[in-house]
Amino acid sequence: MVSFSLCMIVKDEEKVLARCLESLAPAMDEIIIVDTGSADNTREIAGKYTEKVFDFAWTGSFADARNFASSKATKEYIYTADADEYLDEENQQKLLQLKSILLPEVEMVQMLYRTVANNTVYNFEKEYRPKLYRRLRPFVWIDPIHETLRTKPVVYDSQIEIIHEPQGNHGARDLAALCRVGNGEEYLSKKLHHMYAMELFRCGEEEDFGRAISIFEKTLSQDGRTMEEVKEAICVLARAYRLRGEVAGFFGYALKDSATGASAEVCCELGRYYEDAGNKEEAVIWYQNAATETESILDIRTSQEIPREGLERCGVTFE
């Protein structure tokens, strides 16, 4: 049977930490908790489950904190968890079973991640995420001729389902971090580009969109950006300019969106623009397009409840 190290980074998680640890501890051979500055009873709760509780001065990077936690691990595999997630009894048993049968060549295990809250940017019910990985990865030669080192990890998609139940909205924190990264990096990665745009549409305020303008306008001038990234930038910029009341900029990006295949996000922006201008007939057209003719790319609500609510405000019942 292989051995597991649980590695977590926490801050002010007294409401949920015990639930998480209680569900994971039976399968763990080692528990490592890294605290980044809690002001509540988080450290005391962690101390009930492990002596390996470490302080880490926050650098602004979750990756730095994760790497620090992993550096303290000593077992064969590292299991990463956030305090607001846990396993129910059925999935606890699945994890224990996995531990007993895990083949040594498997270097990474993905598990199904299910978020059960409405205050999140995620547009999925379940999604595979890497949760368990080999601490020290062995490199092996492959191919009988012109042999080479295997660089891609051997990944196993398990049926273990993790319940993610966030206690609050971390949007303001995440948007501040994403803005800082976007202003500091010449080229925002595709993943962070997508997450930043999603977070803006889910919980961004007018000032958040204003701060994002230069970052997403940079996207449109960069070589190598995919059409998905271009569309994300257009959606963000269309809303940013509408919120600012800069009509020329707003319609410029709305036209770019139409030219590349209209998105539900920008259709909703057009609907809201015309609704606010008192032109309900035109607003209805765009809300209907959002609800029935287009797809959302950042916020699934823009093809569901947002246009339906807009139609109702305009006196039209959606069927």
152-171, pLDDT tens digit by residue?
999 999 999 999 988 765 66
Average the pLDDT over 212-221 and give the result: 95
Say yes or no to pLDDT of 36 above 80.
Answer: yes
DSSP state of 25: G
Residue 121 pLDDT level (bands cut at 50, 70, 90): very low
| Choice among 136-145, 192-201, 248-257 with the minimum mean pLDDT | 136-145
Q: Residue for token digits 């969106």? A: 257
Average the pLDDT over 132-137 and give the result: 94
The size of the chain, in residues, is 319
Catalogue all structural domains in the chain, each as residue range(s) with its CATH number.
4-164 (3.90.550.10), 177-257 (no CATH), 262-319 (no CATH)
pLDDT for the residue 21: 98
Residue 37 pLDDT level (bands cut at 50, 70, 90): very high
Quote the CA–CA distance of 263 and 256 in Å, as a whole number. 11
Quote the CA–CA distance of 312 and 308 in Å, as a whole number. 6
List the end-to-end C-alpha distance of the chain, in Å, as a whole number: 56
Q: What is the dihedral of CA 152, 196, 87, 105, to 10 degrees?
A: 0
Say yes or no to pLDDT of 117 above 70.
Answer: no
Nearest to 318, CA basis, from 304, 301, 298: 304
CA–chain centroid gap for 235, Å, is 18
| Choice among 84-93, 168-177, 226-235 with the minimum mean pLDDT | 168-177
pLDDT for the residue 185: 78
Q: Residue for token digits 């010449």? A: 186
Average the pLDDT over 256-278 and give the result: 96
**pLDDT, mean over the chain:** 92
pLDDT, tens digit, 9 for 90 and up, residues 277-317: 999 999 999 999 999 999 999 999 999 999 999 999 999 88
